[in-house]
């Protein structure tokens, strides 16, 4: 099969012919219809994340069709449409797995990082972490598998905030904005200074205000969610939230957070991170998405153009989500 392979972080992906994976007893083999390009892929390729399995095929926003099943697969069959997310495997026995926090499993595997991902024609997936899809596995659905899922989890961790700030208006924020509006919240979108296109995009998706990250919103926020991997945004977001407000850091990697005066945290403001996802997040979000309905804005790239898609994302030149089509 054709695949885009990372041999060493810091180098471009290489287009290569490799063997179609053989699914294990509890795995399914999936023919990839589309795979979204997530910022986390960029962190894997750039070497921001430690100890990837090398060589690795990146990609964890996978939609496709099951073509064969291992001997112990129970719930999926050839022809089923599935989505495969970042969390690719958990141990099921550690304290986190046993207490509803499998996103924090001590010995997890992550798709496109520590197990082979979806920048390829086929991928093998643990049956338990392949979500059945109710809709066809089209390119527009792919970003729901991470931008959507992590976005959903980050919005839940923001609690019942009515006025919510989204810092970095890319793939995740453009989905969360629709979800937040559906839930009757007000979205305030923060972008790089002067990024008029992203601010227009945010307003079109229902943001009541859009401006630069350095600006103060017209009203104090109940919560802010950071999707941009920029630590300097944390103190800015803290100053934009009200007493008791929460700042949620949704990225897996972020530049260092600069020091800030304690008074900015004082009055019970909270800073927290979001790590990975649980299967429950997946089930809840994938059931909710068609009701909103969430419409993704995507740009399709052929599989061989994965490096180009990653470059566009790195340079901040993507509106919405990039999706690879094998």
Q: Which residues bind Zn ion (CB under 5 A)?
A: 38, 40, 90-91, 94, 97, 105, 146
Rank residues 42 and 69 by Cβ distance to Zn ion and give the closer one.
42
Alpha-carbon torsion 35, 31, 118, 136, what sign?
positive
Minimum Å distance from CB 90 to Zn ion?
Answer: 5
- Going by C-beta distance under 8 Å and a sequence separation of 6 or more, which residues neighbour residue 261? none
Rank residues 32 and 97 by Cβ distance to Zn ion and give the closer one.
97
Evaluate whether 294 touches 205 at the Cβ level (below 8 Å): no
Rank residues 91 and 271 by Cβ distance to Zn ion and give the closer one.
91
Burial of 266 (0-12, 13-18, 19+ CB in 10 A): exposed
Rank residues 40 and 278 by Cβ distance to Zn ion and give the closer one.
40
Minimum Å distance from CB 4 to Zn ion?
Answer: 16
Minimum Å distance from CB 196 to Zn ion?
Answer: 27
Rank residues 30 and 97 by Cβ distance to Zn ion and give the closer one.
97
d(CA 147, CA 298): 12
d(CA 140, CA 169): 18
Rank residues 84 and 237 by Cβ distance to Zn ion and give the closer one.
84
Alpha-carbon torsion 272, 275, 278, 280, what sign?
positive
Rank residues 88 and 245 by Cβ distance to Zn ion and give the closer one.
88
Minimum Å distance from CB 75 to Zn ion?
Answer: 21
Minimum Å distance from CB 318 to Zn ion?
Answer: 14
Evaluate whether 45 touches 24 at the Cβ level (below 8 Å): no
For the chain, strand residue ranges (E) read 2-5, 14-17, 27-37, 61-69, 81-84, 87-89, 109-110, 122-126, 131-132, 163-167, 186-191, 209-212, 221-226, 241-249, 270-273, 298-302, 321-325
Minimum Å distance from CB 322 to Zn ion?
Answer: 12
Minimum Å distance from CB 237 to Zn ion?
Answer: 21
- Going by C-beta distance under 8 Å and a sequence separation of 6 or more, which residues neighbour residue 317? none
d(CA 226, CA 151): 10
């Amino acid at each position: 099969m054709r695949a885009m392979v990372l041999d060493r972080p810091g180098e471009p992906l290489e287009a290569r012919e490799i063997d179609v994976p053989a699914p294990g007893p509890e795995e399914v083999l999936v023919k990839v219809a589309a795979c979204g390009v997530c910022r986390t892929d960029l962190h894997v390729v750039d070497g921001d994340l430690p100890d990837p399995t090398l060589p690795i095929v990146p990609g964890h926003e996978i939609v496709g069709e099951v073509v064969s099943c291992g001997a112990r697969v129970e719930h999926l069959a050839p022809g089923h449409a599935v989505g495969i997310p970042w969390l690719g495997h958990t141990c099921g026995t550690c304290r986190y797995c046993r207490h509803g926090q499998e996103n924090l499993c001590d010995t997890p595997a992550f798709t496109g990082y520590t197990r082979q991902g979806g920048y390829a024609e086929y991928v093998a997936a643990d049956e338990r972490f392949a979500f059945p899809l109710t809709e066809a596995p089209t390119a527009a659905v792919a970003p729901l598998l991470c931008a959507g899922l992590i976005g959903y989890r980050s919005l839940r961790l923001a609690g019942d905030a009515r006025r919510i700030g989204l810092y970095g208006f890319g793939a995740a924020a453009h989905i969360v904005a629709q979800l937040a509006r559906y839930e009757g919240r007000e979205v305030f979108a923060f972008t790089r200074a002067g990024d008029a296109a992203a601010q227009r995009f945010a307003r079109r998706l229902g943001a009541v205000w859009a401006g630069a990250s350095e600006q103060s919103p017209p009203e104090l926020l109940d919560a802010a969610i950071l999707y941009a991997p920029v630590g300097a945004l944390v103190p800015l977001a803290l100053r934009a939230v009200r007493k008791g407000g929460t700042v949620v850091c949704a990225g897996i990697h972020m530049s260092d957070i600069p020091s800030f005066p304690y008074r900015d945290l004082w009055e019970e403001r909270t800073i927290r991170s979001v790590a990975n996802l649980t299967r429950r997040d997946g089930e809840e979000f994938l059931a909710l998405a068609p009701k909103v309905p969430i419409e993704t804005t995507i740009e399709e790239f052929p599989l061989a153009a994965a490096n180009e898609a990653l470059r566009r994302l790195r340079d901040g030149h993507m509106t919405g989500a990039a999706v690879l089509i094998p």
